[in-house]
Amino acid sequence: MSKAFVFPGQGAQSIGMGQALAEAYPAAKAVFEEVDEALGESLSGLIWDGDQETLTLTQNAQPALMATSMAAMRALEAEGVGVDQAAMVAGHSLGEYSALAAAGALQIGDCARLLRTRGLAMQAAVPVGQGAMAAILGLDLAVVRDVAEAAAQGEVCQAANDNDPAQVVVSGNAAAVERAVDIAKEKGAKRAMLLPVSAPFHCALMQPAADAMAEALAEVQIAKPKVPVVANVRAAQVEDPEEIRSLLVEQVTGSVRWRETVEHMGGAGVTEIWEIGAGKALSGMVRRINREIAVRAVGTPEDVAAAVADA
């Protein structure tokens, strides 16, 4: 079996995630301690004992999800399953940072600081209420791109996430995204609905955040990953550190090409995908993209034990 490890993005966060891993594995607990130290605050306290609304704030959710993914990765490593047993890794949006940390290209502390900067910059790029995102279900990417173009009317409206054959997310100015919802319904979408997000991610309105990340990433050491990383904006494997750096900047305004990422993995011979961290959203997407790829979520000590037993 050829395995790939994938790492979730925003929306997977929940109070208590990763706590059982930290209690069961010293190496997992050390991840949360490293993130707390890097940020100069107890993010772990928020994750385990805080409230969902505060955790969901972009600047908290992003490093928190990375920490949980890396805790699960360290637990797997403690049981003898390392990233070197994966043919490749990938992550959905912020999950790409988790993938890079798992592959040894980024240090966990640097990752936490970058994601805090990324979250704050993305939130600050567009005043609350001026941007929006919407999920379009039941129309393929080409049709959704036409919908977005028709809805723009001089504003920004772009296909932001090509998640799977049944779901494409559009992002942009609030009025344009609302028009896209109406047009998508007219085009026969099964559902088209605004998403409860605080900013219009992965579209041209995020350019100020991309500029901020270019500055932040310029100060960080990036090593060659131990295994190839399938980049969001290219849906292809990258290993060159400078290419990784530029693609992480491009990712802020670019589309998350998740459907193509999974198709690339299948075409490269991947037969099993492990979702490392919180939730099972990516597992569902993988099933809708390629039913021949087996999926497994690894986010608890029980998941780790089951995965290791089958490895």
Contact 73, 30 (CB under 8 A): no
CA distances from 171 to 7, 18, 55, 223, 251 (A): 22, 30, 22, 32, 14
202 a catalytic residue? yes
Q: How far apart are CA 283 and CA 303, in angstroms?
A: 14
Residue listed under structure tokens 């295994």: 227
Query: What's the sign of the alpha-carbon dihedral 69, 92, 122, 134?
Result: negative
Residue of 69, 93, 255, 283 marked active site:
93
CA distance 137 to 128: 25
127, burial (CB in 10 Å: exposed 0-12, middle 13-18, buried 19+): exposed
How far is the C-alpha of 30 from the C-alpha of 95, rounded, in Å? Answer: 20
Secondary structure of residue 268 in the 3-state scheme = coil
For Cα atoms 92, 232, 20, give the angle at the middle one, nearest 5 degrees: 25
Q: Is 92 a catalytic residue?
A: no
List 202, 255, 264, 283, catalytic entry? 202
* First-last CA distance in the chain: 9
CA distance 11 to 62: 10
Q: Give the catalytic positions in this structure.
A: 93, 202
